[in-house]
């Protein structure tokens, strides 16, 4: 008599199902990483240097393809190459995320003020580009969120850059530490950035930042997709109904 063959405890259908699930997860991770690396990457705002346009607790998407791809801002800096691939010139007034030149790793977000070949200077709190002062229009009251009291001791202005881009800046006075500077001459293939909160921003006016090489550009800030006030952390979902700044969701960044 022939003995029956031993049966395996493994279920082929279960193995196929597990393998398919793992393949789906891996594919989803690869797609997500490709989108994050080449298309859009999320960032959050940790400081007040871009107030009043960007607030602490804002979460935004940055388009990685806007200016092409540089060695510092793409593939986590592991691919060594100079310059940028598919390079496109940024425009004055763009809000841009870049890698801090000092370490090539820290993400900063500022507004592009000076292009290659420009001269930039602050005199008594007024911005001069190529020797010409920018146009300023004082706002009646500082910009504030709905339901919030306007900030005290500050003045907001509508600033108009030479190419016509307008945005709101915030100032505490005309004689703050960065209100009077030397003349900065922007080198080739580099850019000069400033924060909209002019008297509370570490930017190209300081030795900590200085001129930003083109390969350090990460991308252009495009849209706010989420925003929490400073009294709540992202993981504190039970606070969201009261802490989310609902009016800021899906706001385009100017």
204 classed as catalytic: no
Q: What are the backbone dihedrals phi and psi of residue 93, each rounded to the nearest 5 degrees, phi first?
A: 100, -15
Of the candidates 245, 103, 130, the residue with the CA atom closest to the CA atom of residue 185: 130
Whether the CA torsion 67, 65, 127, 202 is positive or negative: it is negative
Out of 64, 72, 110, 171, the active site residue is 110
48 classed as catalytic: no
Out of 49, 71, 190, 201, the active site residue is 49
Catalytic residue numbers?
A: 49, 110
């Amino acid at each position: 008599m022939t003995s029956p063959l031993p049966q395996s405890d493994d279920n082929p259908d279960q193995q196929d199902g597990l393998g398919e699930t793992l393949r789906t997860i891996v594919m989803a991770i690869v797609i997500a990483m490709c989108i994050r690396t080449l298309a859009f990457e999320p960032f959050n705002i940790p400081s007040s240097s871009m107030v009043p346009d960007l607030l602490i607790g804002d979460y935004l998407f940055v388009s990685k393809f806007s200016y092409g791809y540089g060695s510092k801002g793409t593939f986590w800096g592991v691919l060594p190459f100079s310059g940028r691939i598919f390079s496109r010139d940024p425009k004055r007034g763009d809000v841009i995320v870049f890698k801090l030149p000092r370490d090539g790793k820290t993400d900063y977000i500022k507004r592009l003020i000076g292009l290659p070949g420009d001269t930039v200077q602050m005199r008594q709190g007024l911005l001069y580009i190529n020797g010409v002062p920018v146009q300023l229009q004082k706002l009646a009251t500082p910009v504030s969120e709905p339901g919030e009291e306007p900030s005290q001791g500050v003045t907001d202005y509508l600033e108009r850059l030479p190419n016509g881009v307008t945005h709101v800046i915030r100032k505490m006075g005309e004689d703050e530490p960065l209100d009077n500077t030397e003349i900065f001459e922007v080198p080739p293939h580099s850019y000069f950035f400033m924060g909209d909160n002019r008297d509370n921003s570490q930017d190209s006016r300081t030795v900590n930042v200085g001129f930003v090489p083109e390969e350090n550009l990460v991308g252009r800030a495009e849209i706010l997709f989420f925003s929490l006030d400073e009294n709540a952390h992202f993981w504190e979902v039970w606070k969201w109904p009261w802490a989310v700044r609902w009016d800021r969701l899906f706001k385009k960044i100017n």
